[in-house]
Each structure stands twice: as C-alpha cells, then as structure tokens.
C-alpha cells in the first residue's frame, strides 16, 4: 500500500480521518459512491471541503493511486468529484488509480478553485 507522504492525516481539531495507517489483512475497503444529502452537518461539509482541497493540492489533475487514503472519506466524493482514472478499475484495491473530475469538483467546491487553478 502506497503511503502518501505529506498528505494531511485528518481534519484539524476533529476525528475526520483522511488516511489510514496500515493496510488491512482482509484487503482494501470497497469504494462506493455515498449520497451527500443537503441536511449533512456543517462539520461533515467542512471535512469534504478540506479533503477535496488536500487532494487538489497533493495531486492536481494527475491520476493518483488510492494507497492509504481513507475509503470512507473517499466514498463521499467517489463517482462525482473523484472518478476512476481508467477502465481497469478495482474498487477493492489499494493500487486503484483515481483522478479528480475537475468540472464536477469546481461545481461542488467553488471555494477551492476560485483562483482559476
């Protein structure tokens, strides 16, 4: 499992985890697209925003390996702002390649992309 050095471990001051410490012996948790409802708490929304900002700062438009990124946190963005980078995608693999769908990410998180990155 690739460890993304320099990637924030969690949202500061909260228990919202962004990375995991070690690979599970049972294998990677499956990525699934979770529905983000309008009534989500402000803390959940901040965690989504901070995680998306960290992904953008760390990877930009380049494809990236899932590695030690938390499956639960990724699943809130998966299928919308974060999509498979190719047709050979395995949702239960630490080596799965992902990428940011820039158009959808800009629409969902305009504050991150306000500078025209």
Q: List the pLDDT tens digit at each of the 117 positions of the chain.
A: 889 999 999 888 888 999 988 888 888 899 999 998 888 999 999 999 999 999 999 999 999 999 999 999 999 999 999 999 988 899 999 999 999 999 999 999 998 887 654
SS3 17: strand
| Residue 52 belongs to some domain of the structure | yes
The range of the structural domain enclosing residue 60 comes to: 42-108
Q: Strands, DSSP E only, in 1-117?
A: 64-65, 82-84, 97-100
| Residue 25 belongs to some domain of the structure | no
| Residue 102 belongs to some domain of the structure | yes
Is the sign of the CA dihedral 55, 11, 50, 30 positive or negative?
Answer: positive
| Residue 2 belongs to some domain of the structure | no
| Residue 101 belongs to some domain of the structure | yes
Q: What's the gap between Cα 74 and its chain centre?
A: 4
Query: Phi, psi (5° rounding) for residue 98?
Result: -125, 165
Query: What is the count of structural domains for the chain?
Result: 1
72: its two tokens: 């639960």
pTM for the full model? 0.89
Beta bridge partners of 54: none
């Amino acid at each position: 499992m690739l460890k993304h050095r320099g990637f924030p471990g969690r949202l500061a001051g909260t228990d919202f985890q962004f990375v995991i410490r070690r690979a599970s012996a049972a294998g990677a948790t499956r990525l699934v697209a979770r529905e983000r409802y309008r009534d989500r708490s402000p803390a959940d929304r901040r965690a989504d925003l901070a995680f998306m900002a960290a992904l953008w700062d760390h990877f930009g438009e380049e494809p990236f390996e899932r590695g030690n990124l938390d499956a639960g946190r990724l699943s809130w963005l998966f299928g919308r702002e974060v999509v498979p980078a190719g047709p050979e995608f395995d949702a239960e693999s630490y080596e799965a390649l992902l990428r940011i769908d820039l158009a959808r990410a800009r629409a969902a998180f305009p504050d991150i992309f306000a500078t025209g990155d």
